Amino acid sequence: MEEIIREKKRIDIAKLKKTGAVVLPSIFTIANMAFGFFAILSASEGNYVLAAWFIVLSYVMDMLDGRIARLVHGESSFGVEIDSLSDWISFGIAPAYLIYKFVLKDYGFWGYPVAFLYVLCGALRLARYNVKSHFGGSDKDYFQGLPIPGAAGILISFVLAYSMLEGEGGMRSIKLVMAQMPFVYAAIPFIMIALALLMVSSAPYAAFKGDMLKPNSIKGILVITAVLSMLIAYPQDSLFLFFSLYAVSGVIAGIYKALRGLFKGREAV
């Protein structure tokens, strides 16, 4: 029976490849790259909020391409590589350039190495992920180091939230979050350096794949409902809050893991 099921699956995959359905994920990957490029162009023209929203659209495309690839059995080594290149443009180069134009240019020459460090560590993070994927060393439940979309999320959501202080956006805001924006603005160089280092760190970050948040479980339904409600009510502030909490979660998990290993080592002695 199992052999029949496997054979049927092979036939179904062959049919999908014949109809060209496996090309579909690449369309979303290219759209991800395109929106990242549009973000760079928008930032160069001083349209910082529009640039940030283009990167948000890149997020949507990035989330869809992987899921569609699995759905139509279109996973391939080429797909992994082009996806990483798209991510580097959309979540590495685009947000670094956006933040340089928005904040770092005021620091003169010192804005250059800060922006470049972020881009460099983003590339290293993606290269490490690709190597692990090719050799089967990646963990389905956790990422090693802050994923580059997570790092970019803090930067672009900061631009969106800060824009409301300047009268742009026209949406409701969380006062507590908005009160921190001037401090975040001043700390951006240090935040970018921290994000760069977190990307190449070994800190464990939840991947939110598989069974971690099943939509048919009570826990999954509650979390998804809460997140969507916050995003609808306070889109800019919620994005900044969620991405910041995610970045901090890996640091806390890494410290906990290190301490647990230390205590276990002492007990063994």
pLDDT band at 13 (very low <50, low <70, confident <90, very high): very low
Instruction: Tokens for 144, please give them.
Output: 């090693």
In whole angstroms, what is the distance from residue 205 CA to residue 254 CA?
9
- For residue 167, the model assigns a pLDDT of 64
Q: What is the dihedral of CA 140, 143, 148, 153, to 10 degrees?
A: 90
| Predicted local distance difference test score (pLDDT) of residue 152 | 97
**Cβ neighbours of 29 (radius 10 Å):** 24
Any idea what the CATH number is for the domain that residue 77 is in?
1.20.120.1760
pLDDT of 47 over the 60 cut: yes
* 269 secondary structure, DSSP code: -
Q: Work out the pLDDT band at 265, boundaries 50, 70, 90.
A: low
Q: Nearest to residue 71, comparing CAs of 138, 13, 135, 144?
A: 13
pLDDT in tens, 70-83: 777 767 777 788 89
State the residue range of the domain holding 104.
2-268
The domain total for the chain is 1
pLDDT at 168: 59
At 149, the pLDDT band (50, 70, 90 cuts) reads very high
pLDDT above 60 for 93: yes
pLDDT confidence band for 55 (50 / 70 / 90): very high
Measured CA to CA, the distance from residue 157 to residue 163 in angstroms comes to 10
pTM for the structure as a whole: 0.84
Among 109-113, 130-134, 184-188, 196-200, the minimum mean pLDDT is found in 130-134
Torsion angle of the four alpha carbons 72, 64, 140, 118, in this order, in degrees rounded to the nearest 10: 140
How far apart CA 128 and CA 260 sit, in angstroms, is: 26
DSSP string, 48-76: HHHHHHHHHHHHHHHHHHHHHHHHTT---
Roughly how many angstroms between the first and final C-alpha of the chain, as a whole number?
52
Residue 5 is predicted with a pLDDT of: 45
